[in-house]
Amino acid sequence: MTRIAAIIGGGVIGGGWAARFLLMGWDVQVFDPDPEAKRKIDEVLANARRSLPGLSDVALPDEGQLSYHDNVPDAIRGACWIQESVPERLPLKHKVYQSLQEHCEGDAIIGSSTSGFKPSELQEGAMRPAQIVVTHPFNPVYLLPLIELVPSDQNSPELIDKAKEILTGIGMYPLHVRAEIDAHIADRFLEAVWREALWLIKDGVATTEEIDNAIRYGFGLRWAQMGLFETYRIAGGEAGMRHFIEQFGPCLSWPWTKLTDVPDLTDDLIDQIASQSDDQSGQHTIRDLERIRDNNLVTILRGLKAQDYGAGTLLKAQDAHMNILAQGIDDIAEFTELVTTVQRAVPLDWTDYNGHMNEARYLQAFGDATDQLMHIIGCDADYIASGGSYFTAETHIRHIDEVHAGTKIKVETQVLSGEGKKLHLFHRMMEGDRLIATGEHMLIHVSLETRKASLPDARVSIPLAKLAAAHADLPLPEGAGAAVGVR
C-alpha cells in the first residue's frame, strides 16, 4: 500500500490530520484554497512535533514528505486515504466529493471529518457512494486517539476493515459507530453539556470559569480515565450499577436539567459569554492555550500509559507495534559496533522550567538503555523471575548539551567489561551526530533471593562474554573513567 494521504481542507482539523499522518511516516498532500493554509498547517505541525513523538517510548517512523497543491487532481494523486475537512456545509461537501471522485483511485477511502452529518447524507448524489465514510476526529487530532468511524449500509465490510487498519496504524482508535445518527456518539454528549452550560450562564447561576472548574476539578478527571458507566458503577458502591440506578434513577424525573430546551443565543447572552471568557482566559493567546492544552494532554496520557488504562492502553499497544529495538537478535557476536539501546523522542513531561530535558530524565533514558542491554544479553523478564538480576551500583552522567521536547534521541551503548559479577557500561546519548550526554554505569549481578552479589548463570554470562569480546576492539570512549569535573 502506498502510504500517501491527501488532506482536503487544511484548517484546524485538516491541519491536525496532516500532522498525524506525516509524523506517523505517511506522505501528505494538501489542497486548501486559503492562501494562509500553509502558515496555519506549519503552526499546527510545530505543536504536533513537540508533543506527539514523545507520547511514545519508542521511535516513530521517519516523517513523510509534506507537499501543497493548488488543484485537487495533484493533491490526490496516488493517495489511498483522502481526508475531507472542509467547512460543515452539506452542499460544499457534495461539491468536493464530486471533484474528488472524478480524479481519485476507485479503491481510495474518502473519510469525512464531519461533526454532524450522517454518512448517507454525505453519500447522496455521489458517483461512488460506497467510497465515502465518516471518520470524525477530536481536536487536537495529532494527540487524541478517538475516531468515530461511521459507515452507512452502502459501505462494504472490506472498506470498514481497511479504514480500521489504516487508522490504527497511525495510532488512532476507530470506534465503529454501528448505527448512523446525527452527530454520531460523542458530539451528542458535548451538545447536551454545552446546552446546560448556556442555561447556567443565561440564568446567572455560574460564569464560564465556574463551569470549567466544575468540570476540570471533578467529573472531567473521572471521565478522562474511566468514562461514564465505569465511574457510575463505582458510585453504586459494592452493590454496583444496579444500586446506582435505583438511587439516582428517580432524579431523572425531577427538573434538574433543562432537557432539550435551547436558550436563545441573543446578542446579550453572546456578549456575556465572550466577556466572561475574556476575563477567564484573555491573558493567553490561542497559541499559548494550545500549548498548555497539549502539555496537559501529554501528561495525562503518559500517566494513563504508566497505569496501562484507558487511552494509555492504546499507547502501550502502539509502542509494542512500533518497537524496532525489540526485534529478535540472531547472533550477539555480530554486535561489533555500539549497540543502539534507546531510540525515542523527548516527551513534553520530561522538560523543566528551563525549557529543556530535566537532569533526572537523562538518568531515566540511560536506565532504559541499560534495561535494553540487559534484555539483549538474556537478563530478561524470565531470567529476572528466576531469581537473578543486575543492580546499578555507580553512575556518572555528563550533561554535555541541552535537548528540547520532541527532539529525537538515540543512546548507543558500549560494554566496557562483563566479567564475573560486574557489568560496566558506557552510554552515549546523541541527536544525530550531536553528543548530548554520556552515562557510565557499574552494575553488579545479584541474587534476588539473598539480595547479595552473585555470578550470573550461563543464560546471561555466555551472551555477555560474547558481547564484551565483540566490543573489546572498540576504542575506549572519550570520557570513560573521568572523575566529576574532568571533561
Binding footprint of ligand NAD on the chain (CB under 6 A) = 8-14, 31-34, 37, 85-88, 96, 113-115, 136-137, 139
Within 282-430, where are the H helices?
Answer: 286-307, 311-322, 359-376, 381-385
Residue 13 or 443: the one with the smaller Cβ distance to ligand NAD is 13
Q: Judging by beta carbons within 10 Å of its beta carbon (0-12, 13-18, 19+), is residue 265 exposed, middle or buried?
A: exposed
Number of H helices, E strands in the chain: 17, 14
At 466, list the grid cell. 560474547
CB of 24 to ligand NAD, least distance (A): 19
Residue 99 or 454: the one with the smaller Cβ distance to ligand NAD is 99
CB of 108 to ligand NAD, least distance (A): 16
Residue from 363, 480, 486 nearest 429 by CA: 363
Residue 139 or 299: the one with the smaller Cβ distance to ligand NAD is 139
CB of 149 to ligand NAD, least distance (A): 13
Q: Judging by beta carbons within 10 Å of its beta carbon (0-12, 13-18, 19+), is residue 277 exposed, middle or buried?
A: middle
Q: What are phi and psi of 266, to 5 degrees?
A: -75, 165
Q: State the DSSP H helix or E strand holding residue 440, giving kind and residue range, or none if neither.
A: strand 434-447
Residue 184 or 408: the one with the smaller Cβ distance to ligand NAD is 184
Is the distance from CB of 146 to CB of 185 less than 8 angstroms? no
Residue 197 or 467: the one with the smaller Cβ distance to ligand NAD is 197
DSSP string, 372-407: HHHHHTT-SHHHHHTTEEEEEEEEEEEE-S---TT-
Residue 12 or 448: the one with the smaller Cβ distance to ligand NAD is 12
CB of 183 to ligand NAD, least distance (A): 10
Residue 197 or 332: the one with the smaller Cβ distance to ligand NAD is 197
Distance CA 130, CA 132 (A): 6
CB of 91 to ligand NAD, least distance (A): 11
Residue 281 or 323: the one with the smaller Cβ distance to ligand NAD is 281
Is the distance from CB of 82 to CB of 6 less than 8 angstroms? yes
At 332, list the grid cell. 550477539
CB of 99 to ligand NAD, least distance (A): 8
At 69, list the grid cell. 497543491
CB of 202 to ligand NAD, least distance (A): 23
CB of 64 to ligand NAD, least distance (A): 20
**Residue whose C-beta lies closest to ligand NAD:** 11
Single-letter residue type at 81: W
